[in-house]
A and B are shown apart, each in its own frame.
Chain A
Amino acid sequence: LAKTTQPISMDSYEGQEVNITCSHNNIATNDYITWYQQFPSQGPRFIIQGYKTKVTNEVASLFIPADRKSSTLSLPRVSLSDTAVYYCLGLTDSWGKLQFGAGTQVVVTP
């Protein structure tokens, strides 16, 4: 199972791009990298998932370099509603159970 390390918190202003880097030095060949977002009083919500290179969807982009020992979640032009905790997870295990860390608290201010 890939143990992940990410910053505890990040602050940003509205309209800026936020990049959260996650380290996963022990990532295994079969591991995918998955990011979830959690708002207060809600359950986590899937954002994006990737194996290598770059993945983009309507919410975010995920950059994974060739060695796959880190990944960067990029949130373009954040708004106040992007204030949340963001979790980077290594996705592997016998039953696909998610292994969350403490996550990164992103606070967006006007």
Chain B
Amino acid sequence: GAGVSQSPRYKVAKRGQDVALRCDPISGHVSLFWYQQALGQGPEFLTYFQNEAQLDKSGLPSDRFFAERPEGSVSTLKIQRTQQEDSAVYLCASSLELAGPLNTDTQYFGPGTRLTVL
């Protein structure tokens, strides 16, 4: 079956531009996560959705970052007025079950979107 897909795979933006990154999770997966991965580093959590509800956005680095999942499936991560420090790979992951304490459900990652801000 299809895995998590993300588009575009690569995005080049000029500083100050707005960008929108799309994630298509595995069908039926309740939980959706966004992560940011800087070069040479491990992914860092940005935000979490349970169906359409954004339950944790503690990892979003600034108010220029906004994420939504209006129908509980596809999610979009939007970055306004991009800055050079936003250059990174943005990863989306989904899991079948509700997340929560002691949840051990596997997260399935997409290939990521590599954002380069010039």
Contact = CB atoms under 8 A, between A and B. Distances in A.
A101 B45 CA distance: 11
Interface in B48-80: 48, 50, 55-56, 59
A87 B41 CA distance: 11
Interface string A36-67: 00000111111001000000000000000000
* B interface secondary structure, majority: loop
- Which 6 pairs from chain A and chain B are nearest by CB? A43-B109, A100-B42, A96-B99, A96-B103, A97-B45, A95-B99
Interface string A59-103: 000000000000000000000000001010001111111111111
B101 to A, nearest CB: 6
A94 B102 CA distance: 9
B105 A44 contact: no
Given A43-B91, A91-B104, A100 B111 contact: no
11 contacts: A30-B101, A43-B93, A91-B104, A94-B56, A95-B56, A95-B99, A95-B100, A97-B99, A98-B35, A98-B107, A100-B42
Contact of B42 (A30, A49, A92, A101): A101
Contact-residue bracket for chain A: 20 to 34
Given A32-B104, A43-B110, A44-B109, A95 B55 contact: yes
B87 to A, nearest CB: 16
B91 A94 contact: no
Interface of A: 30, 32, 34, 41-46, 49, 85, 87, 91-103
A33 to B, nearest CB: 10
Nearest to B40: A102
Contacts of A92: 101-102
B43 A98 contact: yes
B82 interface: no
Nearest to A45: B109
Contacts of A103: 42
B44 A100 contact: yes
Contact of A97 (B4, B48, B104, B109): B48
A46 B56 contact: no
Contacts of A32: 102, 104
